[in-house]
Amino acid sequence: MPENLCKKKHMTSFRLIILGFAGVIFLGTVLLMLPISTSEQVLTPFHEALFTATSAVCVTGLVVKDTGSYWSQAGQTIILVLIQIGGLGVVTVAASVSLLSGKKISLMQRSTMQDAMSAPKVGGIVRLTRFILKGTFLTEAAGALLLLPVFLSDYGLKGIWLSVFHSVSAFCNAGFDILGTAVHAFPSLTGYYGSILINMVIMLLIIIGGIGFLTWDDIYTNKLNFKRYRMQSKIILMTTTCLILLPAVFFFTCDLKNLPMGKRLLAAVFQSVTTRTAGFNTINISEMSEASKAVMILLMLIGGSPGSTAGGMKTTTFTVLILNAIATFRSQENAGAFGRRLEYDVIKNAATIAMLYFSLFFCGGIAISVYEGIPLLDCLYEAASAVGTVGLTLGITPRLHVFSQVVLIILMYLGRVGGLTLIYAVFSGKNKGNAKLPLEKITVG
């Protein structure tokens, strides 16, 4: 009985996470619909406000209205708050409010926080929450200060708000920008493709937010002693490094040939970093080759790391599948890395999550292509961007009809709450017990 009760509570926490995100999205939608949220003081249609709120809370960055010119200061502030809540996680923000108000965190709340943060155990979860809060606000403040000189020089006092907004947006891997104007909408960071400072600061913020709070806690605890890191932290750091360097080399070699050597290198690295998690762009993505777009689709689906501000199926999922394939090629019974063996359940979960994300991405892309009559590759790109909560676009999202926008909304939401969270929330309580069916062989491959 206690075991069943524990399972029931454990599964309930996943439903709380899903409902929490939905609640914040709904509240954000209502606020963004108000005339005070727009520059022209007009009522925003429900589906457009819902799309923007979902994109902000799910830290995606896909938009149907230019954030810089359409939304007022109040609207941009609402979007920024939604981004911050979505980046930290609804449960983490709620727990932080309780901590700041002096309330005690119950065991059930700690269990929910553990699931939301992808923490390995309940013990130390309150300390981890405090670490996350301090680290987040210190990093965002440092990022804003570093961006300040450029934005102050270009925009005057408005540069202060621009620095804060883009620092939070980059750390939370949201990809929202407010540099657009009525004349030049949806620019992202294309105006700063040659600025070393802007590129480096944004990339660092994206990477810091994307590798996960647990990894930074490991680094903070063990400093540079790599051998003492948890296997998960080692896998995340190694995978992240490879997923930045290899695509950067590919983009530099196969694309961006119209740029000078230095700017070409900067653009290649930036695009490699931002594609997997953030959604900023310094170049016109629609002009890149189809091979580069295909690579970017894969990177967007992989996403960031567990317990981070990023979405996607996660770097650990991708690496576990590769490690399992390597073990199969070598006829090894168990997959592993860094002298440790992977559990069978981890491999099974990784395969399930990957299948879920690829199915959502493929079905979403086809649905949009059929309905809109747009080339499939472009639609698959937008679908991958949505389900990976990246926010990069080939420019078709603002022109989509309501049906296609709803498809992207669903993909963004499911991509942010996470594959396992969705699976456990839907199928919790449906376990029929430990009885096993008779075994029969089947040939695969």
Q: How far apart are CA 106 and CA 100, in angstroms?
A: 15
Task: Establish how many alpha carbons lie within 13 A of residue 76's alpha carbon, considering only the half-sphere containing its beta carbon.
Answer: 21
Q: How far apart are CA 2 and CA 18, in angstroms?
A: 25
166 Cβ contact partners less than 8 Å away, ≥ 6 residues apart: 147, 151, 177, 178, 202
DSSP code at position 392: -
Q: How far apart are CA 210 and CA 304, in angstroms?
A: 5
pTM of the predicted protein model: 0.90
DSSP code at position 306: T
Q: Are strands 340-341 and 336-337 parallel, antiparallel or unpaired?
A: antiparallel
**CA-based R_g, the chain, Å:** 22
Q: What are phi and psi of 172, to 5 degrees?
A: -80, 5
Q: How many CB atoms sit inside 10 A of residue 134's CB?
A: 10
Per-residue confidence at 366, pLDDT binned at 50, 70, 90?
Answer: very high
Q: How far apart are CA 117 and CA 128, in angstroms?
A: 9
Residue with tokens 């080339």: 375
The mean pLDDT of 2-12, rounded to a whole number, is 46
Write down the pLDDT at residue 241: 95
One-letter amino acid at 324 equals N
Decide: helix, strand or coil at residue 340.
Answer: strand
> Please, what is the average pLDDT of the chain?
88
348 Cβ contact partners less than 8 Å away, ≥ 6 residues apart: none
Write down the pLDDT at residue 106: 65
Q: How far apart are CA 222 and CA 154, in angstroms?
A: 41
Q: How far apart are CA 205 and CA 26, in angstroms?
A: 28
* 108-122, 295-309, 393-407, range with the lowest pLDDT: 108-122
Write down the pLDDT at residue 183: 86
On the 0-12 / 13-18 / 19+ scale of CB atoms within 10 A, 279 is buried
Q: How far apart are CA 401 and CA 395, in angstroms?
A: 14
Q: What is the pLDDT of residues 428-438, one digit of tens each?
A: 555 555 677 78
Q: How far apart are CA 403 and CA 61, in angstroms?
A: 19
Q: How far apart are CA 107 and CA 128, in angstroms?
A: 15
Q: Which helix (H) or strand (E) holds 337?
A: strand 336-337
Q: How far apart are CA 125 and CA 119, in angstroms?
A: 8
Write down the pLDDT at residue 4: 47
**Contact predicate 324/344, CB 8 Å:** no
* DSSP-derived secondary structure for 56-106: HHTT----SS-HHHHB-HHHHHHHHHHHHHHHH-HHHHHHHHHHHTTPPPP
240 Cβ contact partners less than 8 Å away, ≥ 6 residues apart: 207, 210, 211, 305, 315
* 18-32, 46-60, 125-139, range with the lowest pLDDT: 125-139
Q: How far apart are CA 379 and CA 411, in angstroms?
A: 13
Decide: helix, strand or coil at residue 119.
Answer: coil
- Cα 305 → chain centroid: 9
On the 0-12 / 13-18 / 19+ scale of CB atoms within 10 A, 433 is exposed
Residue 139 has pLDDT above 90, yes or no: yes
Q: How many CB atoms sit inside 10 A of residue 225's CB?
A: 9
On the 0-12 / 13-18 / 19+ scale of CB atoms within 10 A, 377 is middle
**Contact predicate 213/127, CB 8 Å:** no
Residue 336 has pLDDT above 90, yes or no: no
Residue 10 has pLDDT above 50, yes or no: no
Q: What is the pLDDT of residues 56-86, one digit of tens each?
A: 999 999 999 999 999 999 999 999 999 999 8
* 122-131, 212-221, 280-289, range with the lowest pLDDT: 122-131
Q: What is the pLDDT of residues 404-429, one digit of tens each?
A: 999 999 999 998 887 666 666 665 55
